[in-house]
Structure 1
């Protein structure tokens, strides 16, 4: 491996980790804005999204340049492919964080729903998935990445519970429909972010072990 190629790979790693930090911050701000009913915090997410979008384009361009210049093989090729896929997933998480922030801004101006939903529990579960998937990426830890994949069903179940509770609330109190729909959208976005965290974990396994584990059925 040439020094130039090694430097390019290190720069890609630094860039994807920096993007991961931006996305994690956006997610935390967006969900905190919902929980705290903080419209100003929600606005910060909207402003910060442009930097995430710029980073996504830069990383994709850099990956393509490395592929063209160095024609990597084996582990180096897997690394670049994984970076490109993770890059796309991170940008999508950033977009979902923006949508959550927009819902937070709307809900902050309305009365909170009187429903027994464990929203904070769902946020904590998803935040943990995002954090562990990024930790697995930083450490190139396939064992941790597989653990992230195994935990995805918990978030899916939380989303279903949220849907059932809010659907019942809308039936019994039509005045809550608009607020409940926005809250359901937040729940769906959280569930989708959990899926994307799982995608990142799957990409880490591919990067480290060369194994494609999409659609794998995980046993308890």
Structure 2
């Protein structure tokens, strides 16, 4: 039987998903600002960072109010705690998007380096991971969450590839060092976004099955038996 205040939990869940979509949108816009050398778009991303911060504050307030007033049962408490942790990761994604936009703004007024080839792929993988992790918040699908975690190595590998290419380029053309370093930092931001998606996916496994795999890794994941909670 549904509890009387289930609607409050659905609102909480909805706000987290809205925050996730906003974080995804901001990252895509920041990368577009980089690839198109669009100063106005970069400024738009930077100005919108406060919106994601407000989402985090709102979600924390809703979580604290629910825990204080509603006496949540175990499954509800897991949902609230995981939601608060996920909102923190999403706020960090927003910060990374802002960092990318700031660097894109610097690069937009410099001669362009044609070394952006791996960035669209990195962006797509990282944001697909993030969206899938958020989907798990609705579906409580631990297999999908595990799939997100496994993909993190793809972004790590691309980040290392970008670093190697940019290092070689800086050695050959020392006058590009400052711009190449900015691209390295952008690559690192994308890698961190994938890490935040992984964090959320790990929390979704905890939400779905009550199993904490944050430091043990998915190799230690034990599929629950029928009837386990």
| TM-score range for the pair, normalised by the shorter chain length | over 0.9
RMSD over aligned Cα atoms: 1.5
Superposed CA deviations along residues 34-87 of structure 1, whole A, max 9, x for unmatched, are 122222111111121111111111110110111111221321111011101001
Which of 56-65 and 122-131 deviates more? 122-131
**Does structure 1 residue 23 correspond to structure 2 residue 23?**
yes
The alpha carbon displacement at 1:135 in A equals 2.1
Structure 1: stretches of 5+ with no match in the other structure: none
Match in the other structure for 2:227: none
Q: Distance in 2 between matches of 1:79 and 1:34?
A: 37
Summarize the alignment of residues 1-220 of structure 1 with structure 2, pairs less than 5 Å apart.
Answer: 2-3=3-4, 5-115=5-115, 117-218=117-218
Distance in 2 between residues matched to 1:138 and 1:106, nearest whole Å: 39
Moved more, 53-62 or 113-122: 113-122
| Alpha-carbon separation, structure 2, partners of 1:90 and 1:113 | 30
Q: CA deviation at 1:115?
A: 4.1
Unaligned runs of 5+ in 2: 220-229
Task: Tell which deviates more after alignment, 10-19 or 123-132.
Answer: 123-132
Q: Which piece of structure 1 moves more, 131-140 or 190-199?
A: 131-140
2:225 is aligned to: none
Does the 8 A contact of 2:20 with 2:131 survive in 1? no
Cα-to-partner distance string for 1:2-41 (whole Å, 9 max, x where unaligned): 41x3122111111111111111111111111112222211
- TM-score after normalising by structure 2: 0.90
Contact map agreement 1:117 1:165 (CA 8 A) in 2: no
CA distance in 1, matches of 2:102, 2:66: 37
What secondary structure, in the 3-state scheme, does the structure 2 residue paired with 1:151 have?
helix
Contact 1:39 1:105 (C-alpha < 8 Å) held by counterparts: yes
Please say if residues 35 and 116 of structure 2, whose CA atoms lie closer than 8 Å, have aligned partners that are also in contact: no
How high is the TM-score relative to the length of structure 1? Answer: 0.93
Q: Quick one: distance in 2 between partners of 1:148 and 1:142?
A: 10
